[in-house]
Structure 1
Amino acid sequence: MPGVDERTCAGVDLVALRDAACSAAVKGELFLSAERRLNLELEARTGAFTTSTGESLWASARVQRVDGVGMSSRHVSAPGELSSLLEGAAAAAPMAGALPEPLAPGAASSPVALPALSRVRAQAWAARVSSTVVPRTGIVQALVLSQSETWTAHVLAGASRAHVESREEVFVRCETERGAVVDAVALGAGQGAHALEALRSRLAEAFDALEGPVDAVDPALPLVLRPAVAAPLVAGLVWMLRGDVAAATPALARALGRKLFPSVLGLEDDAAHPQGTRRRALDDEGMPMHPVRLVDEGRLSGFLHTASTAPRLGGVSNGRALRSMLAGPTPNALNPFVMPRADPLPAHYTELIARVETFTTMPRPGTVTLVAGGWEVRDGRRVRRIAPVELELPVLETFRALRGVGTDLTFFPTAEGCGTPTLVFPPLLSGAQGGQAAR
């Protein structure tokens, strides 16, 4: 996007906005967010791509009160609006929680810049995906390439810390004879070609599993979930280990430090993981995002925390406060992943490779529902294709049955950025009939 001023967003000078925030937030907190985005979307009917661009700028204020924290958020169009935003927070109905600790005096702030986006780059990647990644037999229902640059600044007691996050992702939805498959990859710096090859390989395997003659599943066989199928289950576990969720689940909160799972399970969140879909140094409360171990050899060792959730569980913030537009900070992982191992596969098993799109994966808290197809494998050979089966898996109970973890760690933007290798479970389909898993 030539001619873009990197120091402005939505017509507002970001340096002036940050400086005004530092002056106004002497007795409170301000969070500023400026985003530039570009979407390139395939018109399935014509085969042409349409481009949309946009910018947004919003701010959120929080003020500590005796009876809790007051918060106010809105889109802003001038630096002078920040003082009235703080006044609105002071007058708002109180919420439970507390502000984070003040930033160190003079804390360095990253350069105030919102980089331009590249329409040419987006078009080149989209054309490559369309021509080389999607299987020739596939019907593309949707192909979207998105770019975004987001500048955020956390200002507390006059000190500020800022961060710029760049994201580029491509999403593909293809129709097979047994349902739609949705997959995506992040095109990180220097990783684009490798990521697209991984996407091409997964889509090819999915089509192979979902097209052709099928048989009913053998419910007595162990279950092997390849990464594309295991990812929603991992996302469900990560969601349960958020500090706000754990605080509302007393039994889970009391289990901290206990061995809840088999020793083969390790779970970590690393904002700097080289394969992860995102990169950040600071969370949205200005805290450093160091790696957080959530499960260590089966022992529940931590939760994801903000400054507000940590005290409720007797912990400290671990830099996992993230904000969505006009909302307060909530604990979230950035690049959570099951730690790879090299556990052996069973001699005979059901291998689920391709996840068929459904409208929801967690219809009830703590339970993941998915539909997946694959193969029956005997002595290392795929002997017959099985009809897609529906699994309704209680997250904690399912992971307590985990038997093994593979080496093929893969991250998925379609599963909240979660990463997972192959996961091995005992038979989970007892009572399955006609290719459908019993609940």
Structure 2
Amino acid sequence: MSEVRDSEAGEKPSGVDPSAPHELAGAARVALEEFGRVQPSAIAELFLSARLRLTLEYEVSAGTFALSHGLEISAAARVWEGEQHGFAAGPVGSAREVRAVLESATRRLGTGARVPIPPAPVSAGPLPPWPPEPSMERARQQAEHIARTVVPHGVVVQALVLTRRTVWSALLRGGGAEGAHVESTEEAFLRCETSRGAVVDAVALPPDDDEASLVPLRERLTEAVSALEGPTEPADPALPLVLRPAVAAPLVAGLSWLLRGDVASATPALARAVGRKPFPSVLSVEDDPLHPLGTRRREVDDEGRPARGARLVDEGRLMGFLHSGETAARLGAEPNGRGLREGTSPPSPAAINLFIVPRGDALPANYTELTTRVETFTTMPRPGTVSLIAGGWEVRDGQRVRRIAPMELDLPLLETFRALRGVGADLTFFPTADGCGTPTLVLPPPRGG
């Protein structure tokens, strides 16, 4: 018999007032109208964000649940006057606090990095309503079902966490222009014990409870137990590496970081490589905000620009970077709708559903197959280098012949992708890798073995 440990264990524990964001949006409109009358030569915008996070932790061995939740509403203001730009942000809960954020941005008007004025957002009608709150009973049932059907028999679950994030945002500009975005994501995270370290994996949960969404997670956990439990031998350093998606995912998350406009503007050699072919022809990279397998779905970014599909690497040729308005201006490029906000920060470039384009290249006859990644404290301890500990199999003539001990790999991003030999067809997106997707990747032997 399970029990719930929570200070508010009712069906709607968050106590969210669904009218609060809309009331603050009304206050923002009034503040912008007043600003326009006082400073007609300036342009101002307010970005309101309401973020609800709900986390359900299931203690599998004890059959108990712990629930935590919180709502954060913030406002960010940007003001332009001539060549000057001002920015301010902070939590808000009243009309007075919304006006104070706008006034603070006005006081901070100054020269500095060129921040272009984004085009006015195109309104799609009234601001959307606050999404319905999730059912706590449904979340408990989901957690129990995942523990019962996804985790291999005999495996100890150290943590099973269901997380639901709902973001409601509104972008309002002086003159009445406004746009809005609502996004809800639900994910299940598992941390399981093996004799050679912990394995952490996750899956995005669809709103319709489609059982098929759990199949990849079940298969990866089964593969992890198979790879990490049992006798092992050292890997043959002369064999090429085949990184299955679960192992390749942190590399692609690192590549996503490398292809951001702010990273490129701080790395002149990288910025100058646009139009050249620094990578092999097997590598193509896209960011598709509406990809059917992606973990996110967006049509506009947080600056009101359309978030269209972007081909960043085309058969080895670097085509461009992920850009906010500011980074695009720095590099003389066109913005591509990737100006996203994290909390109260200004818009910065970020991927939405970045992935390596699958190809289906043939595998070599003999190789080291890395199927499972053992948890590490961080996968990018140094900028530009991804560190992994991964286990798997030695494969000869297409057959697994022996289990190998987990290998420690330090992979410099640029050098690793320059050496890429092949790309599989098994594209998979991972919540644990910033939502990035990858197929199997084929690399040369480690350290030139």
Q: TM-score, normalised by structure 1?
A: 0.93
Match of 2:29 in 1: 22
Residue 374 of structure 1 pairs with residue 381 of structure 2: no
Query: Which consecutive aligned stretches of 4+ in structure 1 deviate over 3 angstroms post-superposition?
Result: 1-9, 65-68, 104-110, 189-192
Per the TM alignment, residue 96 of structure 1 is displaced from its structure 2 partner at its CA by 2.1
Among 235, 247, 252, which residue is 1:229 paired with? 247
Give, in whole Å, the separation in 2 of the partners of 1:5 and 1:381: 52
Give, in whole Å, the separation in 2 of the partners of 1:138 and 1:132: 12
- Which stretch shifts more, 15-24 or 263-272? 15-24
Amino acid at match of 1:301: M
Match of 1:310 in 2: 328
Query: Using a 3 Å threshold, how does the CA distance of structure 1 residues 102 and 241 change in structure 2: closer, same or farther?
Result: same
Among 69, 76, 79, which residue is 1:53 paired with? 69
Is the CA contact (8 Å cut-off) linking 1:402 and 1:423 kept in structure 2?
Answer: yes
Match of 1:161 in 2: 179
Stretches of structure 2 that go unaligned for 5 or more consecutive residues are 1-9, 37-42
Query: Using a 3 Å threshold, how does the CA distance of structure 1 residues 93 and 110 change in structure 2: closer, same or farther?
Result: closer
Query: Using a 3 Å threshold, how does the CA distance of structure 1 residues 176 and 297 change in structure 2: closer, same or farther?
Result: same
Give, in whole Å, the separation in 2 of the partners of 1:195 and 1:205: 17
Stretches of structure 1 that go unaligned for 5 or more consecutive residues are 432-439
Residue 72 of structure 1 aligns to a residue whose secondary structure is strand
Match of 1:434 in 2: none
Is the CA contact (8 Å cut-off) linking 2:121 and 2:178 kept in structure 1?
Answer: no
Residue 278 of structure 1 pairs with residue 287 of structure 2: no
Query: Using a 3 Å threshold, how does the CA distance of structure 1 residues 69 and 112 change in structure 2: closer, same or farther?
Result: farther
Per the TM alignment, residue 7 of structure 1 is displaced from its structure 2 partner at its CA by 9.1
Give, in whole Å, the separation in 1 of the partners of 2:209 and 2:360: 25
Per the TM alignment, residue 15 of structure 1 is displaced from its structure 2 partner at its CA by 2.3
Is the CA contact (8 Å cut-off) linking 2:255 and 2:413 kept in structure 1?
Answer: yes
Residue 212 of structure 1 aligns to a residue whose secondary structure is coil
- Which stretch shifts more, 246-255 or 116-125? 116-125
Matches within 5 A, 1:19-418: 19-25=26-32, 26=36, 27-43=43-59, 46-66=62-82, 68-92=84-108, 94=110, 96-103=113-120, 108-157=125-174, 158-190=176-208, 192-418=210-436
Describe the superposition over 1:284-322 as per-residue Cα deviations: whole angstroms up to 9, x where unpaired. 111111111111111101100011110111112111011
Give, in whole Å, the separation in 1 of the partners of 2:178 and 2:133: 23
Give, in whole Å, the separation in 1 of the partners of 2:266 and 2:84: 19
Equivalences, count:
429
Per the TM alignment, residue 188 of structure 1 is displaced from its structure 2 partner at its CA by 2.1
Describe the superposition over 1:18-67 as per-residue Cα deviations: whole angstroms up to 9, x where unpaired. 22223323431111111223211022562311122222211111112456
Match of 2:39 in 1: none
Residue 95 of structure 2 aligns to a residue whose secondary structure is coil
Is the CA contact (8 Å cut-off) linking 2:16 and 2:71 kept in structure 1?
Answer: no
Is the CA contact (8 Å cut-off) linking 1:277 and 1:413 kept in structure 2?
Answer: yes
Describe the superposition over 1:326-350 as per-residue Cα deviations: whole angstroms up to 9, x where unpaired. 2111100011000111100000000
Give, in whole Å, the separation in 2 of the partners of 1:422 and 1:5: 41
Is the CA contact (8 Å cut-off) linking 1:117 and 1:149 kept in structure 2?
Answer: no
Describe the superposition over 1:71-118 as per-residue Cα deviations: whole angstroms up to 9, x where unpaired. 211111113322211111122374523143231576645423232222
Query: Aligned Cα RMSD in Å?
Result: 2.0
Is the CA contact (8 Å cut-off) linking 1:342 and 1:407 kept in structure 2?
Answer: yes
Q: Percent identity?
A: 57
Give, in whole Å, the separation in 1 of the partners of 2:404 and 2:345: 44
Amino acid at match of 1:143: L
Is the CA contact (8 Å cut-off) linking 1:150 and 1:166 kept in structure 2?
Answer: yes
Match of 1:437 in 2: none
Give, in whole Å, the separation in 2 of the partners of 1:75 and 1:63: 18
